[in-house]
Amino acid sequence: MSSFLGDEIVGRISRLAAISETSEQLTRIFLTEEHRAAADLLLSWMRDAGMHVQFDAIGNVCGRYEGERPALPCLMLGSHYDSVREAGKWDGPLGLITAISCVADLHKRERRLPFAIEVIGFADEEGVRFASTLLGSRAVAGTFDERVLDAKDNAGISMRDALFQFGLDPAHIGAAARSRSELLAYIELHIEQGPVLEAQNLPVGVVTAISGATRLAASLTGMAGHAGTVPMLLRRDALAGAAECIVAIEEFCRTDRGGSVGTVGYIHAMPGATNVIPGQVSFTIDLRAVSDAHRNLAVADIVRKIEDIARRRKLLLQVDVTHENRTVPCAPWLKAQVSEAITGEGYRVFELPSGAGHDGMAMIDIADVAMVFVRCRGGISHHPDEHVDVADADAGARVLLRLIENFRPRGTRE
Ligand code: GLV
Ligand code: MN
Ligand code: MN
């Protein structure tokens, strides 16, 4: 089947995916050699697409395609180019690369619009390295919290030091911030990461809202000891306590009528030897729900449950919120334009919420936000088997390009 931009997009997705910490799986983490190499490649594609480019103070790649005259406000398009560990290659790059290909197509046709287009590749959306997420988009939205500069990665390196080692000056992060008057809207195309569009037999969908999320860091301290000599009833085993907490979180969410989802995705036990009772354990909790009110109740319930477990097991518990984002609704006037573009490409309009987090959660502070979802295979994401068919990548690009070319700023007459 002939593809308009799909082949180019899929080819670039694969080239970007080759930039990884390990050769077998894709892992591309904030402020690493791979971050730099990916940025260089993306900036070269942006330049080829006729954009003026910039690498900003938090490590975002930014490209600007001027409108009919210089200095017009922009329609901002973007997504992230960091990844989780052992990731799929589409989460983030699909939206970024599609946006670059759409601008390249306009450039090839020498088409200028009555507004500028900016494409941003956000440096850190996943928050793998420093627990706090949306670092790139928060810098752009002017809501970067300087306290996170003290956050440390698992090797004990602070974000501040990692920025310096990378050649970026944390004192300049404020300069990455943009103002509301510069932006007409923020639109992000993204792989769905769930099974809904596939079940609907549709390549694309309109996002209604991005679900809020809370991330917690928990640690349990007990008493390390000899695995052979300390009787079972006298132990204060932090890892056994954490295991009970994990099962309690799973049980809570499984039976929660409010439909919360909870994940313990990281755990570290110390001192970490076969014949030593674990004295200290740290683990993370990721909790999401469709309503913010329900998520807040779920967080409180879960914290109460793990406090009870810690008390009963005589473990010292410390729980901190490392990240919190409210649910972000997509703007009705933008959703209407996304729907028009979908209809214009001959597809049925289908609306769905996003359970995953996205940079729009930060961008909402300076712009109205919309998202286009592209179908993935089997609903698989955050996994190497994540896959988008070239025909669906192509459909996404056609919808995005139509949306850009027909874009009308808010309040503009039809
Ligand atoms: C980002 O992918 C998230 O939803 O955690
Ligand atoms: Mn992701
Ligand atoms: Mn993503």
> How do the domains of the chain map onto residue ranges?
5-210+329-405, 212-325
Distance of CA 278 from the midpoint of ligand 1 (Å): 30
pLDDT class of 106 with cuts at 50, 70, 90 = very high
User: What pLDDT is attached to residue 413?
Assistant: 61
CA distance 357 to 60: 18
Span from the CA of 356 to the centroid of ligand 2 (angstroms): 7
Backbone φ and ψ for 317, nearest 5 degrees, come out as: -110, 135
Domain 5-210+329-405 has CATH 3.40.630.10: yes
381: its two tokens: 């994401």
Other beta carbons within 10 angstroms of residue 116's beta carbon come to 24
pLDDT at 114: 98
pTM: 0.90
* Residue 356 alpha carbon, nearest atom of ligand 1: 4
Q: Which residue has its alpha carbon closest to ligand 1 atom 5?
A: 357
Q: Whose CA is nearest to atom 1 of ligand 1?
A: 357
How long is the chain? 414
Q: Token pair 């000599």 is at which residue?
A: 229
At CA 297, angle to CA 291 and CA 301, rounded to 5? 140
User: Would 5-210+329-405 and 212-325 be classified into the same CATH topology?
Assistant: no
Amino acid letter at 105? D
Show the beta-strand stretches assigned E in 130-260.
Answer: 183-191, 204-210, 213-221, 225-226
CA 231 to chain centre: 46
Among 30, 80, 82, 133, name the best residue to mutate to test ligand 1's pocket (greatest count of ligand atoms within 8 A of Cβ): 133
Do 327 and 288 form a contact (C-beta atoms < 8 A)? no
Ligand 1 pocket residue status of 126, Cβ below 6 Å = yes
| pLDDT tens digits along 265-320 | 999 999 999 999 999 999 999 999 978 999 999 999 999 999 999 999 999 999 99
Q: Summarize pLDDT for 248-268 with one digit per residue, the tens.
A: 999 999 999 888 999 999 999
Amino acid at 79: S
Instruction: List beta partners, residue 31.
Output: none
CATH among 3.30.70.360, 3.40.80.10, 3.20.20.70, 3.40.1440.60 for 212-325: 3.30.70.360
Contacting residues for 147 by C-beta, under 8 A, at least 6 apart: none
Per-residue pLDDT band at 132 (split at 50, 70, 90): confident
**187, β-bridge pairs:** 77, 370
Q: Is 194 in the pocket of ligand 1 (CB under 6 A)?
A: no
